[in-house]
């Protein structure tokens, strides 16, 4: 290792210690989403703790819980659903980089706006399509509010809650991609 490599290595280590930031084009909305990420990260840690407690209760005390499995699934499902919005706020969503990286910077700015617009329309359609599922998950056929439950011995309202959460995240994704569309279109037009 030469002396020239050490500062780069130290800079790389320092970069890993910094908390991740939202893409500048994500705006205030993206920064809020970025900060909310800690809640879902803690949720994953809590689910690991719950699993540990369940293993101890089951195999040490021979007294398994009725709530651990469904709670862990719910917490991880929430983190997984939120993860889509989180990576969108960081502009790290899936794209075909083989083609994307071959396009020069000028046209790529326009492509970013087009990609954001297509993502906005897609997530808007997904939010719209999920509405019928939401209606069945939060209202009884008689029109009374009642969250869909799991049907297990514990019977928590996690399925209905997850469907509502997914709907909210799809709306938030639509908003995030709308912000990107405006910012990238303005950026492309300004250059």
First CA to last CA distance, the chain: 42
Token pair in block for residue 164: 């509502």
Residue 17 is predicted with a pLDDT of 67
What element of type H or E holds 9? helix 5-17
Phi, psi of 142 (to 5 degrees): -85, -5
pLDDT average, residue stretch 14-33:
83
Residue 165 is predicted with a pLDDT of 97
CA angle 160, 166, 167 (to 5 degrees): 90
Q: What percent of the chain has pLDDT over 90?
A: 67
Residue 188 is predicted with a pLDDT of 72
Computed on alpha carbons and rounded to an integer, the radius of gyration of the chain in Å comes to 22
Mean pLDDT, the chain, as a whole number?
Answer: 89
Selected residue with higher pLDDT from 183 and 99: 183
121-131 pLDDT per residue, tens: 999 999 999 99
pLDDT average, residue stretch 123-146:
92
Cβ atoms of 119 and 177 within 8 Å: the answer is yes
- For 91: left if phi > 0, alpha if psi spans -120 to 50, otherwise beta; the answer is left
Cβ atoms of 189 and 43 within 8 Å: the answer is no
54-88 pLDDT per residue, tens: 999 999 999 999 999 999 999 999 999 999 999 99
The residue among 55, 115, 59, 123 whose CA lies nearest residue 91 is 115
């Amino acid at each position: 290792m030469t002396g020239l490599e050490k500062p780069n290595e130290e800079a790389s280590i320092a970069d890993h210690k910094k908390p991740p930031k939202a893409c500048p084009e994500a705006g205030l909305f993206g920064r809020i989403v970025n900060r909310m990420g800690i809640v879902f990260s803690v949720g994953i840690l809590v689910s690991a703790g719950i699993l540990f407690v369940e293993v101890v209760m089951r195999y040490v005390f021979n007294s398994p819980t009725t709530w651990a499995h469904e709670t862990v699934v719910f917490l991880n499902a929430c983190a997984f659903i939120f993860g889509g919005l989180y990576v969108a706020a960081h502009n790290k969503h899936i794209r075909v980089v083989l083609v994307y990286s071959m396009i020069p910077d000028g046209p790529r700015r326009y492509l970013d706006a087009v990609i954001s617009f297509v993502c906005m329309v897609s997530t808007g359609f997904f939010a719209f399509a999920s509405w019928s599922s939401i209606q069945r998950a939060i209202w009884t056929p008689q029109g009374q509010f009642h969250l869909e439950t799991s049907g297990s011995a514990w019977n928590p309202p996690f399925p209905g809650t997850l469907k509502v959460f997914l709907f909210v995240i799809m709306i938030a994704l639509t908003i995030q991609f709308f912000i990107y569309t405006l910012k990238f279109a303005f950026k492309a037009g300004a250059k």
